[in-house]
Chain A
Amino acid sequence: AQKITQTQPGMFVQEKEAVTLDCTYDTSDPSYGLFWYKQPSSGEMIFLIYQGSYDQQNATEGRYSLNFQKARKSANLVISASQLGDSAMYFCAMRGQNTGTASKLTFGTGTRLQVTL
């Protein structure tokens, strides 16, 4: 079974500052992928960034980077230079790459980020 844990129900960050959203995971799959999605108040799910378990480097996409520590089973999202539009719910998710786990995404409970002036 796969499990995602997000221990921060809510976070505040000042505009232009960096913020780290925590995510830890558990899986028995030898190969897996980790994803972060953003859900603004309008409700849609927006893909942000992906990290493969065998990727040598941490993933980066613009202001988003993923601090992947495989031994600790953590995949924290770092948002640099926060903007007011970053205020949203953020979900960490994972998907295995073996038959039976390669289809579904397993989501964490989410972290609500509020960016302040």
Chain B
Amino acid sequence: EPEVTQTPSHQVTQMGQEVILRCVPISNHLYFYWYRQILGQKVEFLVSFYNNEISEKSEIFDDQFSVERPDGSNFTLKIRSTKLEDSAMYFCASSEARGKAEAFFGQGTRLTVV
């Protein structure tokens, strides 16, 4: 069964460092997303991406964040200068379409900023 794959599963980084979280969405999906979940809290939307551009982003997704689809398979989230409060589980998701199509999530990357 096709699945969304995220690497790494865990990442520890020092405050102020840049991190890149990687995702390989399901191959025939067109819409890609990043969500985050701070420990013990609900899942929050960060950004959606379609046709090689951002289609929607939340207030959380400020200038520190960027997304890229550098080739036909990878979808990355970059955090330029990490802060302690960026520590969270980051989920990549993809879906065939918008609206009623379900989003399939990767297993997540747990980012710890120290």
Chain A interface (Cβ within 8 Å of chain B)? 31, 33, 35, 37, 42-47, 50, 52, 91, 93, 95-97, 100, 102-110
Contacts and interface: CB of A to CB of B under 8 A. Distances in A.
Contacts of B105: 37, 44-47
A31 B100 CA distance: 9
A110 B103 CA distance: 17
B98 A103 contact: yes
A95 B42 contact: no
Contacts of B58: 104
24 contacts: A42-B107, A43-B107, A43-B110, A44-B106, A45-B43, A45-B91, A45-B108, A46-B105, A47-B104, A47-B105, A96-B99, A97-B98, A100-B56, A102-B99, A103-B31, A104-B45, A104-B48, A104-B56, A105-B33, A105-B43, A105-B103, A108-B42, A109-B41, A110-B42
Given A47-B104, A103-B98, 13 more contacts: A37-B105, A43-B89, A43-B110, A44-B106, A93-B43, A103-B31, A104-B33, A104-B56, A105-B45, A105-B93, A105-B103, A106-B45, A107-B42
B66 to A, nearest CB: 17
Interface of B: 31, 33, 35, 41-45, 48, 50, 55-56, 58, 89, 91, 93, 98-100, 102-108, 110
A44 B107 contact: yes
Question: B-side binding surface: helix, strand, loop or mixed?
Answer: strand
B108 A44 contact: yes
A45 B109 CA distance: 12
A91 B99 CA distance: 18
A95 B33 CA distance: 13
